[in-house]
Structure 1
Amino acid sequence: MKKIYLLLACITAILASCEQKNTTGSASLEERITDDSLFTLVQYRTFKYFWDGAEPKSGLARERYHVDGEYPQDDKNIVTSGGGGFGVMAILVGIERGFISREEGVKRLERIVTFLENADSFHGVWPHWWNGETGEVKPFSKKDDGGDLVETSFMLTGLLTARQYLIDGDDNEKKLAERMDTLWKAAEFDWYTKGGEDVLYWHWSPNHDWDMNFAVTGYNECQIMYILAASSPTHSVPASVYHKGWNRDGEIKNDKDHEAYGHHLALRHNGTEQYGGPLFWAHYSYVGLDPRGLKDQYADYWEHNTNHTLINRAWCVDNPLDFKGYGENSWGLTASYSVNGYSGHAPGEKRDKGVITPTAALSSFPYTPEYSMQAMRHWYETFGDKLFGEYGFYDAFSETDDWFPQRYLAIDQGPIVVMMENHRTGLLWDLFMSAPEIQQGLKKLDIESPQVE
């Protein structure tokens, strides 16, 4: 308890120092917040999205939160399986950072698990969206009204991480860990091979069967889904699904001369030009899966993710499309809100819309700590309240279009908290990688890691 009060006192002092800044963000050197305090402040504010901003009945992260109060399709109570999984991990960060007590965190996790046990699922796989008040599926699109294996994989990553965190706790925590384990074992990964094909399918619907017909191949954000599928103790898939499906029988590999701005990309990025895809591809699979020293016959994933990030930044520094505000201190292209709707921003003439998304650089802290800090400080000091709100940095902005919407998305806020903590302490990486099933799954797929015993 003493630790909690000391840390909360520290946070209060940080918040007080922030209020000295004016709303344009300018600050004198004497008022300047330290790097470490700014890091904690950003983690704390962003964590609050999953704590204060959560949907109250389910305890899960809302899909989105608009400060202006304008919600499309009246979806204010819609919660998300993928962003909610990142939120489970954010709660663990909140406990360890002293933002909340362990007791408070465990109670919230109990509420989330109770919701998941009773909410709609399809062969143990959850939909992309639910109504947080009822647990009923909310279709993501016309035929996407059933199981979403990718988003479920992000939730299961969070639950496995939390299970490892609680497994040696008191009796109540051990029981909660067992309930998380039951949810993990219920996911029928083998069902999503559509009768035994050497590939995993993204969706299945009780109303539309396999009509979505989305066989997931690499490289994008979905590697973790294949690793979980190989690791499942109850509904595992053979290693051939990973090698023939995700890795496309080796066609995922780029030739050794493929590079941009002097950085080699070992893997072919789906549907993108030579500069790589949106940066969330370097984040979502790796919130729990530790990329440090992670290697197989296709890539060194730490090197690949770092180079992906460096290319993304270099494109913004080069700024060939001449967008306002791009540069060494303002970079990061990934999927987010855009000036017109939602877009998968990435380097390239067709993908770059002049929109910077803070999660791109902030969730890249493990790969580019110096560059990520430069961007975080620049945005905080230059734009102040225009870009930094109650739940951290707003989702996206464009100086070219003078567009600064005060809106948040769970899927973007979650990796900020988690990847910043992984950079700081490796907390979530160490927990997830300690799961015995994951250890066995990586061995099964011939994936090397210093974390595999």
Structure 2
Amino acid sequence: MTPAALAKLDDEALIDAVQRQTFRFFWDGAHPRSGLAPDRRTTRDEPVDDLVAIGGSGFGVMALIVAAERGWQPRDAVVARLNSMLDVLCRATCYHGAYPHFMNGETGATIPFGRKDDGGDLVETALLFQGLLCARQYFDRDTPAEASIRDRITWLWRDVEWDWYTRGGRKLLYWHWSPNNGWALDHEIHGWNECLITYVLAAGSPTCAIDPLVYHRGYAAGRDFLNGKSYHGIELPLGMPYGGPLFFAHYSFCGLDPHGLKDRYADYWELNCRHVRINRAHCIANPGGYKGYGEACWGLTASDDYAGYSAHAPDNDNGTISPTAALASLPYAPAEVMSVLRHFLTAHGERIWGRYGFVDAFCEQRDWAADTFLAIDQGPIIVMMENHRSGLLWKLFMSVPEVQDGLRRLGFSSPHLDIKAGH
């Protein structure tokens, strides 16, 4: 369907069409043998390499659940794809149970992300298990193929040594560990950022759980966590100035339902809504004078841009709009996001709409549009749009017993915690 034809659809049909086209990244564009998600694909047909992304594959698993639920693919085909993914995940090289950022989709061997980043990546691992635990909940039929999904996900999940990544019992999780380079990257996981999911899963592990103090003294401590200042007249409880890139409001909340999710630090629905409003208000104010910005064209987050790749945000703005930033914010600002979606289709059309949905980013100021689609940007579009429509992934993830355990141990309240967990 052309962008012009899409723009004529009613809201519900348009959302479905965007989700469905974007899903092709994880179905047609997946690794040809394992079905794991590539880090990126281009607008052109090119030879497929074996590099797959672990966090992107977690979003891909969630997208597969949506496809099964919506009937975009037969349930049996989705089950077969998930079992192919698990075939490789079960034999892949791991690092105290954690996966690397990138690996070979055929063999499961680690592909270094950087010279010293050649081991476990705890945040990517958390994003993978966010998806896998949803799959364990969803594929609940008494068949050998679905039982295989549940059993193998539980085996992998119980194997992750979350507490190992406290680096010998420190009150903090660390992002990376490598047998070749140890803790050399020394990257502490503290916020506010996209990593809340990591601490919830680490606290809920049935085998290697962290002490809750690791969350309170590690993640929720330091000058990067509490904020309390106002931007464009909107007070921001947590986070860096202006809130940072919008993926902070997406990645952890593909599974964690922010409605009524609170702890001693914030109401996370309110936090995310304010973050989106600040990001939008910045683009409307447009202090950089960038071409195209306005009420129907906003959204700054990490993505490709004309100079490479950057975590775009109000305080790191070079005129690049990333479609995932607004589109994955649909639950937080439905009317405003639908306005953006229709503007993208009518004003930019086929320049930014392609075989896997919207390209990663564009910059009118530079007359530039990406020729790439990224797993970590396409995935949240599908998932957060579905959460807006039906709450499907929120209901699945928040019903995981270990997730409920983790949230309770960290002192969270949520309407989901008043419902008995089970799977």
Shorter-chain TM-score category? over 0.9
**For 1:188-337, what aligned pairs fall within 5 Å after superposition?**
188-248=161-221, 252-255=225-228, 258-269=229-240, 274-337=241-304
Query: Is residue 50 from structure 1 mapped to residue 15 from structure 2 by the alignment?
Result: no
Aligned match for 1:165, one of 130, 135, 138? 138
3-state SS in 2 of match to 1:40 = helix
In structure 1, how many angstroms separate the alpha carbons of the residues matched to 2:4 and 2:169? 59
Cα separation, partners in 2 of 1:438 and 1:65, compared to 1, 3 Å: same
Given that residues 79 and 145 in structure 2 are in contact (C-alpha distance below 8 angstroms), is that contact kept between their aligned partners in structure 1? Answer: no
Runs of 5+ in structure 1 lacking a partner? Answer: 1-14, 19-24
Corresponding position of 2:58: 85
Corresponding position of 1:356: 321
Residues 88-109 of structure 1, C-alpha deviation per residue, up to 9 Å, x if partnerless?
Answer: 0000000111110100110000
Cα separation, partners in 2 of 1:449 and 1:250, compared to 1, 3 Å: farther
Cα separation, partners in 2 of 1:300 and 1:169, compared to 1, 3 Å: farther
Q: Which amino acid aligns with 2:404?
A: Q
Residues 365-401 of structure 1, C-alpha deviation per residue, up to 9 Å, x if partnerless?
Answer: 0101111111011101222211110100000000110
Corresponding position of 2:392: 427
Task: Give the deviation of 1:32 after TM superposition.
Answer: 1.9
Q: Which amino acid aligns with 1:355?
A: T
Given that residues 295 and 448 in structure 1 are in contact (C-alpha distance below 8 angstroms), is that contact kept between their aligned partners in structure 2? Answer: yes
Task: Give the deviation of 1:33 after TM superposition.
Answer: 2.1
Residues 268-287 of structure 1, C-alpha deviation per residue, up to 9 Å, x if partnerless?
Answer: 32xxxx31100000000110
Task: Give the deviation of 1:405 after TM superposition.
Answer: 2.3
Given that residues 49 and 391 in structure 1 are in contact (C-alpha distance below 8 angstroms), is that contact kept between their aligned partners in structure 2? Answer: yes
Given that residues 138 and 145 in structure 1 are in contact (C-alpha distance below 8 angstroms), is that contact kept between their aligned partners in structure 2? Answer: yes
In structure 2, how many angstroms separate the alpha carbons of the residues matched to 1:142 and 1:190? 25
3-state SS in 1 of match to 2:381 = helix
In structure 2, how many angstroms separate the alpha carbons of the residues matched to 1:112 and 1:323? 42
Given that residues 264 and 304 in structure 1 are in contact (C-alpha distance below 8 angstroms), is that contact kept between their aligned partners in structure 2? Answer: no
Corresponding position of 2:421: none
3-state SS in 1 of match to 2:111 = coil
Corresponding position of 1:61: 37
In structure 1, how many angstroms separate the alpha carbons of the residues matched to 2:346 and 2:135? 35
Q: Which amino acid aligns with 2:126?
A: S
Corresponding position of 1:7: none
In structure 2, how many angstroms separate the alpha carbons of the residues matched to 1:138 and 1:250? 34
Corresponding position of 1:345: 312
Given that residues 192 and 224 in structure 2 are in contact (C-alpha distance below 8 angstroms), is that contact kept between their aligned partners in structure 1? Answer: no
In structure 2, how many angstroms separate the alpha carbons of the residues matched to 1:33 and 1:249? 47
**Identity, % of aligned pairs?**
51
In structure 2, how many angstroms separate the alpha carbons of the residues matched to 1:244 and 1:410? 32
Q: Which amino acid aligns with 2:29?
A: G
Corresponding position of 2:150: 177
3-state SS in 2 of match to 1:79 = strand
Report the number of matched residues.
Answer: 418
Corresponding position of 1:12: none
Residues 243-286 of structure 1, C-alpha deviation per residue, up to 9 Å, x if partnerless?
Answer: 0000017972223xx111121111132xxxx3110000000011
3-state SS in 1 of match to 2:373 = strand
Residues 421-453 of structure 1, C-alpha deviation per residue, up to 9 Å, x if partnerless?
Answer: 000000000000001111111111110101112
Given that residues 65 and 76 in structure 1 are in contact (C-alpha distance below 8 angstroms), is that contact kept between their aligned partners in structure 2? Answer: no
Residues 293-313 of structure 1, C-alpha deviation per residue, up to 9 Å, x if partnerless?
Answer: 000000000000000000000
Q: Which amino acid aligns with 2:377?
A: D
Given that residues 230 and 445 in structure 1 are in contact (C-alpha distance below 8 angstroms), is that contact kept between their aligned partners in structure 2? Answer: yes
In structure 2, how many angstroms separate the alpha carbons of the residues matched to 1:441 and 1:300? 17
Residues 110-160 of structure 1, C-alpha deviation per residue, up to 9 Å, x if partnerless?
Answer: 001111001111111000001212211111011000000000000010000
Task: Give the deviation of 1:188 after TM superposition.
Answer: 0.5
Cα separation, partners in 2 of 1:249 and 1:383, compared to 1, 3 Å: closer
Q: Which amino acid aligns with 1:166?
A: F
In structure 2, how many angstroms separate the alpha carbons of the residues matched to 1:50 and 1:140? 21
Cα separation, partners in 2 of 1:310 and 1:378, compared to 1, 3 Å: same
Cα separation, partners in 2 of 1:281 and 1:194, compared to 1, 3 Å: same
In structure 2, how many angstroms separate the alpha carbons of the residues matched to 1:175 and 1:352? 46
Q: Which amino acid aligns with 2:90?
A: E
3-state SS in 1 of match to 2:326 = helix
Runs of 5+ in structure 2 lacking a partner? Answer: 419-423
Query: Is residue 366 from structure 1 mapped to residue 342 from structure 2 by the alignment?
Result: no
Task: Give the deviation of 1:404 after TM superposition.
Answer: 1.3
Given that residues 250 and 298 in structure 1 are in contact (C-alpha distance below 8 angstroms), is that contact kept between their aligned partners in structure 2? Answer: no
Residues 187-235 of structure 1, C-alpha deviation per residue, up to 9 Å, x if partnerless?
Answer: 1101100000010000000100110111111111101100100000001
In structure 2, how many angstroms separate the alpha carbons of the residues matched to 1:250 and 1:26? 47
3-state SS in 1 of match to 2:321 = coil
Corresponding position of 1:104: 77
Q: Which amino acid aligns with 2:312?
A: H
3-state SS in 2 of match to 1:215 = coil
**For 1:405-444, what aligned pairs fall within 5 Å after superposition?**
405-444=370-409
3-state SS in 2 of match to 1:244 = helix
Residues 337-384 of structure 1, C-alpha deviation per residue, up to 9 Å, x if partnerless?
Answer: 011000000002xx0010000000010001011111110111012222
3-state SS in 1 of match to 2:93 = coil
Output the TM-score relative to the length of structure 1.
0.90
